[in-house]
Chains A and B, each alone.
Chain A
């Protein structure tokens, strides 16, 4: 009860059109949850809170874009296996069927003492619990010569949308026998197999359209996820097309020159035709603004996803530092359900069960050649810890790979329905 009252006072102090317009009446305000970010983590959390509380909690989702484009399967779009439209998801069901209020704007400020969020519109929302799920931003200066403005020339395509379309168009317009270069990110970054699935999809397109073209993968990491599987697949399907420059050969010492389309690798300058720069990453800006990060990410309680800095503020998905889970859509969705249950428990006294987390990431190497990696996790005092894992094997037959690919289609349909209703 105490914090409902405090919220009301906070709301009154902020005294804005929003609080006036809200149906809440003195002394009987519904508990309020504000979710910043309508991506995988945020939208899942908003939906689960709204769905399971049957209207007892007021949920506002803050998201500037009217349409969410999933990063998952965006590589398949580049490879020509999915349409761009098939990546698009609207918030209509979340607002229409689940009664979630959508504030279509950016959150700019968080006042954790007053428990308010300030939006770009100037509107101020008060909350009892705040969920921050802004995904990633790129670290300034992560790749010398590259900044967000340069992304118009050297796209990152690591937040799906126009960037993905740009990269695909560039690949398709490459001159015959041209060079595609990817600057891969250092750990940790969203979707560990993502860059390597993308290399596979680019190779698939080039093999069909431009078979003498070359792919240069500049990588600061010694190892990467599903490495043996990707390398086997590249050998099998795209023999001779892909060259990977790891840290032993200067892969960690890279700068780019967007004006001249050059990449400098350990002092050697390469002229390239397309350059996909995926820079080092950090939690989305608003998590830093809210003061819940330590370094690049926001540490959270493994049992609930509440931040270490503030038990009323949760951080989900890529922006969180939780331990062993990779930054993936599957992870963000899994974490969101745990947070939603805890938030409902705190605000309405509903039952709180022990947290369970899991992740599986499918990747496509070539037509119907699907692979997967996954693990399950348990919360511990120290971190969310992996307790078991599995991975596709090298040398699997085509029938199994096809079934794995088909599973990924089912997963996509399942998770997007789970997120957006």
Chain B
């Protein structure tokens, strides 16, 4: 019974998840079409230089207002010194409505309203910045999406089988036999402590970049499943 419901909810989750992710990851080829709206003022690619707008090579991860020799509006320059950095999210907001993000911007563009269109355009622009494949610390390509879980999916809570699958990722560093060599053992950790610790990483209360990253993308159900699984293990 539980098994049947589980499969049903997994199918539901899979079908929910796919389009939700797809919306966020742009299609660079399609995005090139929207680039026509930008290229009157901006250049991109190996020969790019300042024109009416600054070149957009390497924009991912760059401070706003930071291209040498380009005369920015006061507003953009101030945003840069206040710490605005171009990422998927900030570019998305800026392209949606430039003046909403940077009130005094000189960029005379009314904005691209459809989120998918923007994602595609950003994917095209992304091609001319550091690639995460080559420079793993480069600015991420998309924002993570946690699909809204239906009530049924909460049936996943504390499911040790699901936890076992998820744990295959933990096992790359935390050894399954409970040995502790530079990376602590998490075998047979009491369920509740495990859950509390993972949420503390997720909320960045506990420091450690690898664990913050790993926990940051786990749903509540996934954390519960992992806790349930690890609690069943015995150190060897």
* Cα–Cα distance between A352 and B136 once the two chains are bound (Å): 28
Please determine whether A192 and B165 come into contact, CB atoms closer than 8 angstroms. Answer: no
Knowing A376-B213, A408-B182, say if A413 contacts B25 (CB, 8 Å): no
CB-nearest residue of chain B to A380? B25
Size class of the B contact interface (CB-based, 8 Å): 35 or more
Interface check B47, CB cutoff 8 A: no
- Chain B residues whose C-beta falls within 8 Å of the C-beta of A395 in the assembled complex: none
Instruction: Return the CB mask of B179-194 against A: 1 if under 8 Å, else 0.
Output: 1111100000000000
- Chain A residues whose C-beta falls within 8 Å of the C-beta of B212 in the assembled complex: 390
Please determine whether A388 and B7 come into contact, CB atoms closer than 8 angstroms. Answer: no
Interface check A383, CB cutoff 8 A: yes
Please determine whether B183 and A376 come into contact, CB atoms closer than 8 angstroms. Answer: no
* Cα–Cα distance between A341 and B214 once the two chains are bound (Å): 20
Interface check A311, CB cutoff 8 A: no
Knowing A385-B142, A389-B132, A389-B136, say if A374 contacts B213 (CB, 8 Å): yes
- Chain B residues whose C-beta falls within 8 Å of the C-beta of A334 in the assembled complex: 169, 172
Among A79-87, A136-144, A223-231, A281-289, the stretch in contact with B: A223-231
Q: Which of B151-198 contact A (CB under 8 A)?
A: 161-162, 165-166, 168-169, 171-177, 179-183
* Cα–Cα distance between A387 and B87 once the two chains are bound (Å): 11
A410 CB to nearest B CB, Å: 3
Knowing A353-B165, A354-B17, A378-B21, say if A386 contacts B213 (CB, 8 Å): no
Instruction: Return the CB mask of A97-109 against B: 1 if under 8 Å, else 0.
Output: 0000000000000
Give the contacting residue for B123; candidates A382, A387, A406; CB below 8 A: A382
Please determine whether B141 and A385 come into contact, CB atoms closer than 8 angstroms. Answer: yes
Instruction: Return the CB mask of A328-355 against B: 1 if under 8 Å, else 0.
Output: 0010011001000100000000011110
Give the contacting residue for B214; candidates A226, A330, A353, A376; CB below 8 A: A376
Instruction: Return the CB mask of B202-236 against A: 1 if under 8 Å, else 0.
Output: 00000001101110110000000000000000000
Please determine whether A374 and B209 come into contact, CB atoms closer than 8 angstroms. Answer: yes
- Chain A residues whose C-beta falls within 8 Å of the C-beta of B172 in the assembled complex: 330, 333-334, 411, 414-415, 418
Interface check A60, CB cutoff 8 A: no
Please determine whether A324 and B133 come into contact, CB atoms closer than 8 angstroms. Answer: yes
- Chain B residues whose C-beta falls within 8 Å of the C-beta of A341 in the assembled complex: 165
Interface residue total, chain A, C-beta cutoff 8 A: 58
- Chain A residues whose C-beta falls within 8 Å of the C-beta of B213 in the assembled complex: 358, 374-376, 388-390
Knowing A225-B136, A360-B210, say if A351 contacts B161 (CB, 8 Å): yes
* Cα–Cα distance between A76 and B28 once the two chains are bound (Å): 39
* Cα–Cα distance between A409 and B184 once the two chains are bound (Å): 12
CB-nearest residue of chain B to A370? B182
- Chain A residues whose C-beta falls within 8 Å of the C-beta of B165 in the assembled complex: 341, 351, 353
Grouping DSSP codes into helix (H, G, I), strand (E, B) and loop, the A interface class, with mixed when no group exceeds half, is: mixed
* Cα–Cα distance between A351 and B176 once the two chains are bound (Å): 22
* Cα–Cα distance between A85 and B180 once the two chains are bound (Å): 22
Please determine whether B137 and A391 come into contact, CB atoms closer than 8 angstroms. Answer: yes
- Chain A residues whose C-beta falls within 8 Å of the C-beta of B132 in the assembled complex: 324-326, 375, 386, 389
Interface check B38, CB cutoff 8 A: no
B116 CB to nearest A CB, Å: 11
Please determine whether A386 and B140 come into contact, CB atoms closer than 8 angstroms. Answer: yes
* Cα–Cα distance between A226 and B130 once the two chains are bound (Å): 12
Knowing A387-B143, A411-B183, say if A225 contacts B135 (CB, 8 Å): yes
Interface check B131, CB cutoff 8 A: yes
Interface check B24, CB cutoff 8 A: yes
Q: B residues bordering A, Cβ < 8 Å?
A: 6-7, 10, 13-14, 17-18, 21-22, 24-28, 123, 130-145, 161-162, 165-166, 168-169, 171-177, 179-183, 209-210, 212-214, 216-217
Instruction: Sample 25 A-B pairs with CB under 8 A, ordered by A number.
Output: A225-B134, A225-B136, A303-B18, A323-B141, A324-B133, A351-B6, A353-B162, A360-B173, A372-B209, A375-B132, A375-B137, A375-B213, A376-B213, A378-B142, A381-B21, A385-B142, A386-B140, A387-B142, A389-B137, A390-B212, A391-B209, A409-B181, A414-B173, A417-B175, A417-B177
Apart from the given pairs A353-B166, A375-B132, A391-B209, 7 other A-B contacts in the complex at a CB distance below 8 Å: A48-B168, A323-B141, A378-B142, A382-B26, A387-B144, A388-B216, A389-B139
When A and B form their complex, which 6 residue pairs have the shortest distance between CB atoms, in order from nearest? A410-B182, A410-B183, A380-B25, A406-B182, A390-B209, A387-B144
